[in-house]
Each structure stands twice: as C-alpha cells, then as structure tokens.
Amino acid sequence: MTRTDAGLRSGSAGTKFLELLVPVLSFGGTLAGIFIWSLGVHFGIQYAAIGCVLGSCILAYLAWIRQKKDIVSLTTPIYAFIFFVVPADYLPGIVLQLLFAAGLTILLVRLKYRFGASDEPVPDGTVLAGSLRTYAERVQGSFSCLPQGGAESAGEVFIRFARGDYEEAAREADLAIQHLGPVGGAQLLIRAFSIVSEQAAHLNRSLHPPERYLKFASEYSSLLANPNPGSRDREQEYHTTLYNALLLLYATAWNRSGADRERLLACQDFALKLFTQ
Amino acid sequence: MKIGNVDVKISILVIVVFVFFALLIVVASFSSPAVRSQLYWMLPALILLLVMPMALNYMTRKEYADLEPVYEREARPVRIRMINESMIGKIVKIEGVVESVRFQFLNRPQFMVADRTGEIPVKMFTSPPEDIRKDDLVEVLGSVIRRYMVVGDPVVNCVSIRKRDKNAGPEGKS
C-alpha cells in the first residue's frame, strides 16, 4: 500500500470526524447566514464566514499533525479571518465565502492525497514511532548476552551513517566486529556490522551496487525488519540488505543502551524511512 | 545572452511583465499628453524591468559557477533514501531520473529526482545551464536544506544539475 493509499484509507474516527467538519462548517456557516437573511434578520454577512474560520482552523490542525506539512493548508485561517473581519456586501460576501469553502474542501482532498496519513505517528522526541517500536520489541530478547559496548557501538554506527559519515561508520563497525568477536549469540549483529561496514565503504566510492556483497542468512529472516528481499531485483535486494542491517543496529542500540536514546530519537525519521513497506 | 562566460537567461514571466508595461505606456502616451511628458523616466524604468532580472540572474549564475568546483570536490555520493534531517547542511551528490519539473518559467526550477531508493525535491534558485526535462537522467550537486529554511522535510538545494548519458556505464568502481 502506498503512502497515498494509506492516507485515504486510514485515520482514526476522531480524525475522520474532523475531516467531515471542514466542508460541513465552511459551507454550513454561509448557508446558515443565507437562511437567517431570508428570515429578514440583516446582519453583517461577513460574520457568516465564522464557519470558514472554524473549518480552516480544523484544516490547519489536520495539516499540522501530518509528518509532511502543507503550508497552504496551514495558512488558510489567515484568509478566513480576513473574510470574517472585512465588511462585505451581501452577494459578493456570499460568493466569496462559498468559493473559499469549496477551496477548503479541495485542499482537504489534496491534503489526504499528497501529504500522507494523519494517524502516521509524528515523532515527539520521547518514544519510538509505531513500526520502529514494534520492530525494537520484536528483537528485544535476541541479544540478551551482548556486552554493553556492542549496543553502544551499534548506536554510534547508525548515527554516523545517518549523518552521511560513511567512512567513520565503516571504521566504527569494523571496531565493533573486533570487539564482539568471541561473543556467542551475536553472529547476527556481527553480520549487520559487516554489511554496514561493507556498504558504507562502497558508498564512499560509488552509488551503484557491486556484483558480490554480504547478505543475511535465511535463518535470520524472522529477525529482519523488511521481508526477505531475495524475491526482488538485485539492486533492490542490495539496498534492502543495508536497511535491514541498519534497523537491526538501531533496534539493538535502543533496547540495550539507555544513555544513547536521546541521540537515537534524533535519527528516528531516518530509521523510519528504512522500512520498505 | 552571454556575458563573459555566463549564459544569462530571463524568465518568461519577466518578459510578460515587460511587454505588459510597454503596451501600457504606448497606449497611455497615445491617449494622454500628460503621460508623454513623463516618458523621460518611464522608458528607463521600463528598461530596468528587463535589466534588473538579467543582472540578478548573471550574479546568481556566476556565483553558482564559482561554487561548482567546490561542490564537485566536497560532495559525497548518497542514495536518495539516505538523505535525512541529520544531513542538513551536508554537500551531496545524487543521481537519478527527473520525474517532474516545476516553476521553470520563474527561473526557480524545482525538479523531483528519483533513484531506485526514493525521490526528493531538488530546488534551484536560478535556471540550469542545460535544458533539463522530465525523464532525463541527471547528476545533482547540492546541499541538504529544510524545505522552508528552518522547518520542513529535507530537500536538496542544487548548485549544479547535469544530464548524464542514459547508456553510459555506472560511475565509480564496483
């Protein structure tokens, strides 16, 4: 499922209710104004734009809670406020408000299509977001005998890789492999360090995958974040192998080295990008 | 138009604005003698509508041309999915296919460049020396910035975008 599909199909009941409120309030306010005028109560028609003000504020909120922000939706309350405070004649005021309400509705549809799911967790700097948290919990018991230094190295390698310092990431990964050498039960982690080291070193020279490269053994597939990449094309498989290695290092670091969590959280957006589905 | 080594381009929008005001002045000066007496400042102002964007374009392109060797030297190759917030300010080189081109008429083109790992917006604050179109294979040198300077997702602020031959082999040793 693509991100757009997710945006269309997902959303909590509360979010869906808010989405419904945008056109209802925007058009409803103006229609209520027309109705009250038809009863002979002639007030400043610009005040019927209160529905547009509320609708635009809700739209701005829906844009704000998405990870990818839409600056157009975020600024709609400013225009709605102008319509609300500037006196207008009846007909131009009504036309303007109805056009604005239609614009808000179009922006809402655009927001859902182009700016992702509203219930996609926005990292708040204290906890891991959904898929990352689930994966970290899944591998939690796998490295119980790992020395503390191994988890810290895993975090360091991930952070350096996220910053684009590939040479340093490769060097740190090699040091970690030497450090973990004789530790039993850490073969998978050693393989993850080796993959990151190899691919980081390679990335420093070229953007294109080599003919031969390190992979995870199939017996470990249940501990990898992305499903077995063997079914895809070679280049995709190469990239997915790296994503799996990096996510394994991230999850290990998160589960075992409490002191580094603040730094790991700062790289959370990068880790989330490494999930292929 | 070429000034020194710099090929200066002005956007279609600038030409439209120039033509609009030129027509306005012509029509107004025929219909009103009062306007004719003001032509001594109107005509230079009209010419400035062309000269100022050209001067700005020349300065920007010269600056970019000076920066290009520096970026060429310092840029590190990255795959598009690897670009993230931790890389803000880093100089990068990406290769990919242009999926869309927007705002070219403003001389502020924004390219959506994609490789096998993902896609990213590539913003440029002047027109590129080459005519870049959809489906072109390109190499981009630029720095990672936030979309709205201090907030927003990472995008590439492009200093150089060059077409690559689609039939050429991969760059670098594998």
DSSP string, A43-92: --GGGGGHHHHHHHHHHHHHHHTSSS--HHHHHHHHHHHHHHHS---HHH
- pLDDT of A107 higher than 50: yes
- pLDDT of B106 higher than 50: yes
Q: What is the pLDDT of residue A185?
A: 63
CA B101 to chain centre: 11
Give the minimum alpha-carbon distance from B61 to chain A in angstroms, rounded to a whole number. 28
Predicted confidence (pLDDT) per residue in A131-166, tens digit: 888 888 888 877 766 776 778 888 999 999 999 889
Q: What is the pLDDT of residue B93?
A: 93
Tell if the CB–CB gap between B174 and A163 is shorter than 8 Å.
no
Tell if the CB–CB gap between A162 and B152 is shorter than 8 Å.
no
Q: How confident is the model at residue A5 (pLDDT cuts 50, 70, 90)?
A: very low
Q: Are A225 and A246 in contact (CB under 8 A)?
A: no
Q: What is the pLDDT of residue A10?
A: 46
Distance of alpha carbon B9 from alpha carbon A270, whole angstroms: 38
Give the minimum alpha-carbon distance from A36 to chain B in angstroms, rounded to a whole number. 43
**Which domains, from first to last, does chain B contain?**
2-73 (no CATH), 77-163 (2.40.50.140)
- pLDDT of A229 higher than 70: no
Contact with chain B for residue A68, Cβ under 8 A: yes
- pLDDT of A207 higher than 90: no
The interface predicted TM-score of the complex, written ipTM, equals: 0.75
Q: What is the pLDDT of residue A127?
A: 66
Tell if the CB–CB gap between A207 and B77 is shorter than 8 Å.
yes
User: Residue type for B150, please?
Assistant: V
Q: Are B140 and B97 in contact (CB under 8 A)?
A: no
Where exactly are the structural domains of chain A? 13-114, 130-272
Closest by Cα among A165, A132, A152 to A251: A132
User: Which of A66, A75, A156, A207 should one mutate to test binding to chain B, selecting the residue with the greatest count of B CBs within 10 A?
Assistant: A207
Contact with chain B for residue A211, Cβ under 8 A: yes
Contact with chain B for residue A206, Cβ under 8 A: yes
Give the minimum alpha-carbon distance from A164 to chain B in angstroms, rounded to a whole number. 6
Q: Give contacts of B77 with chain A, Cβ < 8 Å.
A: 203-207
Tell if the CB–CB gap between A239 and B81 is shorter than 8 Å.
yes
Q: Give contacts of B94 with chain A, Cβ < 8 Å.
A: 207
Number of cross-chain residue pairs from A and B with Cβ atoms under 8 Å apart? 72
Q: What is the pLDDT of residue A103?
A: 95
The mean pLDDT of A45-63, rounded to a whole number, is 92
Higher pLDDT, A67 or A252: A252
Distance of alpha carbon B77 from alpha carbon A39, whole angstroms: 69
**Which of A 101-160 lie inside 8 A of B, CB atoms?**
159
Considering only alpha carbons, which residue of chain B is nearest residue A274?
Answer: B81
Block residue for tokens 């997902």: A10
Contact with chain A for residue B5, Cβ under 8 A: no
Tell if the CB–CB gap between B86 and A162 is shorter than 8 Å.
yes
- pLDDT of A231 higher than 80: no
Determine which of A2-16, A135-149, B84-98 has the lowest per-residue pLDDT on average: A2-16
Considering only alpha carbons, which residue of chain B is nearest residue A275?
Answer: B81
Contact with chain A for residue B55, Cβ under 8 A: no
pTM for the full model? 0.69
Percentage of chain A surpassing pLDDT 90?
Answer: 32
Give the minimum alpha-carbon distance from A160 to chain B in angstroms, rounded to a whole number. 9
Determine which of A113-127, A186-200, B72-86, B98-112 has the lowest per-residue pLDDT on average: A113-127
Q: Give contacts of A236 with chain B, Cβ < 8 Å.
A: 116
B169 Cβ contact partners less than 8 Å away, ≥ 6 residues apart: none
Q: Exposure pattern of A255-275 as b/e (b: 16+ CB <10 Å)?
A: bbbeebeebbbebbbbbbbbe
- pLDDT of B122 higher than 70: yes
Q: What is the pLDDT of residue B128?
A: 87
Q: What is the pLDDT of residue A216?
A: 86
Nearest CB partner across the interface for B152, out of A69, A204, A209:
A69
Contact with chain A for residue B172, Cβ under 8 A: yes
Tell if the CB–CB gap between A164 and B170 is shorter than 8 Å.
no
Q: Is B113 helix (H, G, I), strand (E, B) or coil?
A: strand
Q: What is the pLDDT of residue A151?
A: 81
